[in-house]
Chain A
Amino acid sequence: MSDIMLQVKDLQASYGQVDVLRGVDLEVKTGEVCVILGANGAGKTTTLRAICNMPIVQSSGSITFAGQDVSKADTGGIVGQGMAHVPQGRGTFPELSTMENLQLGAYVRKDKEVDDDVDRWFQMFPVLKERKDQAAGSLSGGEQQMLAVSRALMSRPKLLLLDEPSLGLAPIIIEDLFGTFKQINQDEGTTMLIVEQNANLALSIAQSAYVLETGSIALSGPAAQLRDDPAVQEAYLGA
């Protein structure tokens, strides 16, 4: 296993005629939490979508994941190789039960330990256990986000992509959630790439960070360094 989990070079992406990314380079080291900051419309979500090659974006560039070139692989194949993506707006299966959502999360797995993992995430998020037979669409926003994260972790990913996990949640729930991310990162060694507008909290659990502006990387460096950067403070930390 190399030290670099994900290497993205000259990533360009567009929706039809609309160009969103104009050559993004970034690197996520194995075992770290990396965060991408940026204003609305900077291309954060598109970056994550292009990394998993979702059909909704047309992209070009080179993406190396865990030592393998996945630039041309389809989304299903990339997920099969150990990348999990929690999309913006949760991306749960609203008509299916909490339990079924978790089982679908383990869709690419062939081993027999799926039930053990379900129990583990139920321990991490006890409220999900209470809701296990309830339709995911009937869960509250915070519960759905917990479900979305657990669903992604059910595939035992090497790399977890999180797209604005704080969106639409109450501050106290957001803090809990980021605490959990940190814990999962430490306990499981899951590498994480988090896209966030809540820069303060994201930088507090991250080791490295990128700032995306209108489709390209404007700043990058260790999270602590970016937190002290006056430009970042003014633009994203409300200093």
Chain B
Amino acid sequence: MTLFLQRIIDGLQNGAIYSVVAIPMVLIFKATTLINFAQGELAMIGAFFAFVFAVQAFNMNIILATILAMILAAALGMAIERTMLRSFDPTDHLPVVLITLGVFYIINALAGDIWNYQAQNLPDDTNLLYQLPLIGDWMQGRSSFFTSETNRLGLRIQHDSVGLVGALLLMLLALHVILNRTKMGLAFRGVSSNTESSRLVGIRVGRILSFGWGLACAFGALGAILVMPRITLQPNMMLTVLVYALAAAAFGGLDSVGGAAIGGFAVGLLNSVILGYVADIDRLSSLTAAPLAMPVVLLLVVLWFKPQGLFGTKTVERV
């Protein structure tokens, strides 16, 4: 029973990581109905921006470094949309998706060239969660319940996992406010719903697409900065996460921000629980590649039975 609970907790911890990459992916899907394969790498480069500001060059406080990195990542995302994607017919998905794949490799290679492929040494004060006012001390502190040791229930629940889930909820809240309570957010949802009519109400669609890319990249960077103490900072940090995030986004429905968050937890849980037990079966324990296949299997199952995902829009129109 304790083992089962621990697997659930581990699953949720990993799930939060998948969610933070899946959410920006959904934002871009909502704006453009295309899957941005470069999302993981854009988040990774965002984390490196923060690393440069906080560690390599300017020795900034990580909170300030995070804000600057988010702005820079947003600018990069907007620039990519403007220069590489805008001129293509958005209804023809293949070239655009291929471009995002290209962007993926370019960013990965550039990052590898600049920072090499070794994991960077991250000082403790680059853990954004530890530096937050009010709760930072608590997360860094050593309560007897949330520690890296086994607590009195026989479980390991780390502070920063709790913090990560909390941060994820805050991200969702922020996005909810931006998308549902601001004029720009309403315009964004309008473009997502009907591009042609958006033009007819006077929305400059190009600007909204830029906004969507900027928003996605800023939040992607934030997510990567939050998880980098856990998954290390190096150019390939998002490679496996991307596969899980993709499954999470599809599970939640590709166009539902909340769905992507729940999808992330679902993928994390399934992965941890099912694979935990599969690994206990002697004959199957040698299947070391199984974890990566897991999200793909989930993806197939979801697409087979519920193509619009759990929370996605199934377009119902009466004429």
Contacts and interface: CB of A to CB of B under 8 A. Distances in A.
- Among B187, B190, B316, find the residue whose CB has the most chain A CB atoms closer than 10 A: B190
B318 A105 contact: no
Interface string A132-163: 00000111110010000001100100000000
A232 interface: no
A139 B190 CA distance: 17
B315 interface: yes
Given A75-B200, A76-B203, A155-B202, A104 B190 contact: yes
B189 A168 contact: no
Given A87-B196, A87-B197, A108-B202, A96 B190 contact: yes
Interface in A27-64: 52, 54-56
10 contacts: A54-B200, A76-B203, A84-B200, A87-B200, A96-B190, A103-B186, A107-B203, A108-B201, A137-B315, A139-B318
Nearest to A84: B200
Bin chain B's interface residue count. 20 to 34
Contacts of B189: 93, 95-96, 100
Interface string B153-183: 0000000000000000000000000000001
Interface residues of A, number: 34
Contacts of A74: 204
B89 to A, nearest CB: 10
Contact of B202 (A80, A100, A141): A80
A71 interface: no
B192 interface: yes
A76 B199 CA distance: 6
Interface of A: 52, 54-56, 74-76, 79-80, 84-85, 87, 91-96, 100, 103-105, 107-108, 137-141, 144, 151-152, 155, 168
Given A55-B199, A94-B317, A144-B318, 7 more contacts: A52-B200, A54-B200, A75-B200, A93-B198, A94-B315, A95-B189, A96-B189
Contacts of A139: 318
A56 B315 CA distance: 23
B178 to A, nearest CB: 15
A107 B197 contact: no
Given A95-B313, A138-B316, A107 B194 contact: no
A91 B197 contact: yes
A137 B316 contact: yes
A144 B316 CA distance: 13
A138 B316 CA distance: 7
Contacts of A105: 201
A91 B193 contact: no
A79 B193 contact: no
Return the 7 tightest CB-CB contacts between A and B, nearest first.
Answer: A79-B202, A108-B202, A93-B193, A91-B197, A75-B199, A95-B193, A107-B201
